[in-house]
């Protein structure tokens, strides 16, 4: 028997350092030799062995009904080959599920990466291409011991769809502004 569901649209905004701050950081290119500062990814990988790898994801649309968080580490994600992609996020919390009204969607250009703060709820990456290779920095056992997922279909009969916000279709690449 299928569950009756509501589809809630999330309008994806171009990611910036400012609008992504409640969820983590956006990291852009910097000149070689620049001293370490607050614009560099502030990582927390102390609870295990770090894993940095390239993962190939295949197109699965922009709808989701599950959202996940990791409470033992930060996570960094970025696309290879300069491809834009989408991510839905909600701020870290102590609750077993994010607050519905706090879920936001972002369009992330291929010239940067995001760092998810410890405990940030996230769904994605999503994209329109057939596949995209992503680099991923997390702990080696993140998906074994630190993967907490909430299912909105079970709890709210709800599914989300990431749509492009008006005025962002060809607005350009993200910036530090």
**Amino acid 177: pLDDT:** 34
The pLDDT, as a whole number, for residue 3 is 63
Average pLDDT of the residues of the chain: 93
What is the spatial distance between Cα 165 and Cα 28, in angstroms, rounded to a whole number?
22
pLDDT at residue number 71: 96
Average pLDDT of the residues in 21-33? 97
How far, in Å, CA of 145 to CA of 163, rounded? 32
pTM of the model: 0.91
* CA dist., res. 161 & res. 88, Å (int): 10
Residue 20 DSSP class: H
Class of residue 70 by CB neighbours under 10 A (exposed 0-12, middle 13-18, buried 19+): buried
pLDDT tens per residue, range 136-161: 999 999 988 998 999 999 999 999 99
Strands (E), the chain: 6-14, 24-28, 50-58, 63-64, 66-69, 75-79, 85-90, 104-108, 112-116, 121-126, 131-139, 148-151, 158-164
Cα 67 to chain centroid distance, Å, stands at 10
CA-based R_g, the chain, Å? 16
pLDDT in tens, 101-131: 999 999 999 999 999 999 999 999 999 999 9
From the options 3.40.50.720, 3.30.1600.10, 2.60.120.480, 3.90.79.10, give the CATH code of 6-27+44-164. 2.60.120.480
Say yes or no to pLDDT of 1 above 90. Answer: no
Q: What is the pLDDT of residue 69?
A: 97
Q: What is the mean pLDDT of residues 47-60?
A: 97
Q: Where are the domains of the chain?
A: 6-27+44-164
């Amino acid at each position: 028997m299928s569950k009756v569901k509501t589809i809630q649209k999330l309008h994806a905004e171009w990611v910036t350092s400012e609008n992504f701050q409640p969820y983590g950081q956006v990291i852009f290119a910097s000149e070689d030799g620049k001293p370490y500062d607050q614009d560099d990814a502030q990582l927390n990988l102390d609870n295990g062995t770090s894993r940095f790898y390239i993962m190939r994801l295949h197109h699965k649309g922009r709808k989701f009904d599950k959202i996940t968080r990791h409470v033992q580490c930060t996570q960094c994600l970025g696309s290879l080959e300069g491809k834009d992609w989408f991510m839905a996020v909600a701020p870290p919390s102590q609750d077993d599920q994010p607050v519905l009204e706090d879920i936001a969607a972002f369009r992330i250009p291929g010239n940067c990466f995001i760092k998810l703060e410890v405990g940030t709820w996230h769904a994605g990456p999503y994209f329109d291409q057939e596949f995209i290779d992503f680099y991923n920095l997390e702990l080696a056992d993140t998906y074994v011991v630190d993967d907490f997922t909430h299912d909105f279909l079970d709890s709210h009969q709800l599914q989300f769809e990431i749509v492009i916000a008006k005025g962002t279709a060809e607005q350009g690449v993200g910036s530090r502004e």
